[in-house]
Amino acid sequence: MTMTARLIEGGVTTPAGFTAAGVYCGIKKPNPVTHPLDLCLIASTRGPVPAAAVFTTNLAVAAPVVVSRGHLDQSGGLCAGVVVNSGCANACTGDAGMEVARQMSAAAAAALGCDTSHIFVSSTGVIGVPLNLGKIKTGITAATVALSTDGGPDATRAIMTTDPFPKSCAAVIDTPKGRVTVGGMTKGSGMIEPRMATMLGFLTTDAKVAPAVLKAALRQVCDETFNAITVDGECSTNDCVLLMASGLSGVEITDPSDPALVEPLRAVAGHLAREIVRGGEGATKLVTVRVTGAASLGDARLAARTICNSPLVKTAIHGGDPNWGRLIAAAGRSGARFVLDAASVRIGDVDLFVHGVPFDERAAAAATVLEQERMVITVDLGTGGTDEATMWTCDFSEEYVKINAEYRT
């Protein structure tokens, strides 16, 4: 029996066993037009449930990441609730920031009636600014009262920073044992190039899964989705993704490669990853980069990442310039095995460079492809290998520079 996951509208509260809320507590500046939210709470209705997470690889790690990683280790991979604030990263804030992260999780634990080690805490926003614990505690109290199965949209809004739109979805899959549902929400618009972590992402499922199995499945899916996107090549201090499993579907998963879990998880994570790129700071185009003809999977991913992170490639795409030379140059300097005389470049369905021979007379057709909001660029490394990889990126615009030049002002 072939099992296929189907995307549906929803979020972290779509799987049974989870409630959420988003409130304003004053971390962000008030805005009478947009009415921002800045504190999110996600709760398991069953108390501590199996959970797994992956975290940033940045060595300048934020206090909430240290605390949450410790809690998951201490609890043996159990989590009862998640508290997240936006507007302040609580990163590079020393011992005081670490204590705020601990107190933030303690306040959430008291509100939800669980042990502090069963709380996952996360923050996002400006680095190096103290986080106001008093406001956080007030927000946790308000969010606890507001928890509901309808609270997903507000929770999603509450974790946004420069994101132009909220990002959430869900997926279902029908198995011989019953239906499995996965829901999720993410934030991320700049500082997006995870490298074995992700932005802020929170995923839930009603499958019955042990923590070790959850962790293996999450790592596998993250490598194919969140770790395959880049907006600007920057890796944040606060990146993390958490997956919690309520078990309420009754469908037990013991194999981390079981399609009953991996397929809906991949569907949700893949959709959210592409939405992050589509909503990248100043982005106007979503670009799928396929690298084929690689000598190894590692080479394919290396070349794809180098192409996706190239400012010259990204600005050419923004300007509608089918500059195949920049794509070839990026692939050639990536460190992946590369044979120029056998390499090829295709933009959409237009072959611009085939086995080392340019076809510049096709540039006008390729430029038409670059006018679209979504496009596929394929680069063959010419090694004769069969490995390939896909990554997603966006263009670089003047708006990206403006947003980041004025981020703290």
Spatial contact of 20 and 13, defined as CB atoms under 8 Å apart: yes
Residues 6+ apart with CB under 8 A from 218: 52, 53, 54, 203, 241, 243, 265
Amino acid at 182: V
228 vs 222: CA distance, rounded Å: 8
User: What sign does the dihedral 137-138-140-141 (CA atoms) show?
Assistant: positive
The catalytically annotated residue of 198, 204, 237, 378 is 198
d(CA 380, CA 392): 16
What are the angstrom distances between the C-alpha of 401 and each of 166, 359, 407? Answer: 22, 33, 10
Say how many C-beta atoms besides its own lie within 10 A of residue 234's C-beta.
14
H/E stretch holding 153: helix 152-158
Hey, what are 201's tokens?
């992402």
- Return the number of other C-beta atoms located less than 10 Å from residue 132's C-beta: 17
Taking the mean position of all CA atoms in its chain, how far away is CA 309?
17
Does 284 participate in catalysis according to the annotation? no
Active site residues: 198
